[in-house]
Amino acid sequence: MIPVIRELAKRIDLPLSVDTMKAVIAREALAEGAEIVNDVSAMRFDGGMAKVVADASAAVVLMHMRGTPKAMQQGDLTYRSLRGEIIDFLRMRIARAVEEGIDPVQIMVDPGIGFGKTATDNMRLIRYLHEFKVLGRPILVGPSRKAFIGQVTGGTPRERVEGTAAVVTAAILNGGNVVRVHDVSIMKKVAAMADAVSRA
């Protein structure tokens, strides 16, 4: 990954995001030109992550996930209050990040679509995404090609482009600020149109 980041940083004038839960990888990636750390553990799994982010004055995405990536879809997936629990979790992680020296303006939040949630949960998070505005931070969503889309539209992950476009549109109309996608050229147009409608 490091050689790829090094070359991309030379060739493009866009902020690069590295997806990692490990402080050592984040440190090297930031040193080579990455500017954002997308940590699906919200900096819980590696005690050194917050210092790495703070020392580099980098941006960070704090995501909600139950359990670990290997076990997140196993066991009981019920929530007493889906949005309430996730908002409380993210509020606590923001507070911890600020305590560790990370500037609040460098923090984004991600409700964790597909991470320890049912298909219905994922759709409800998109439908009520605006509720996460209470946290006062930009909202990132990563719905691209995920299984909950396939439960509605059918098809393999590569056949979920139209479903992803629908979810990206709904996320933007409901307050999402950043979308993480695979099919960039298509979703860039989808996002531009959804954004234009949301601002009309």
Domain ranges of the chain: 2-141, 142-200
Using CA atoms of 155, 157, 161, 164 in order, give the dihedral in degrees to the nearest 10: 110
Model pLDDT for residues 102-146, shown as the tens digit of each residue: 999 999 999 999 999 999 999 999 999 999 999 999 999 999 999
User: What's the CA gap between 180 and 183, in Å, rounded?
Assistant: 10
Q: What is the pLDDT of residue 73?
A: 63
How do beta strands 107-110 and 140-141 pair? unpaired
Look up tokens 């979790």; give the residue.
89
For the chain, give the percent of residues with pLDDT over 90.
Answer: 94
CATH topology of domain 2-141: TIM Barrel (3.20.20)
Task: Give, in order, the Cα–Cα distances in Å from 98 to each of 95, 130, 159, 162.
Answer: 5, 23, 41, 38
Kindly report the average pLDDT of the chain as a whole number: 96
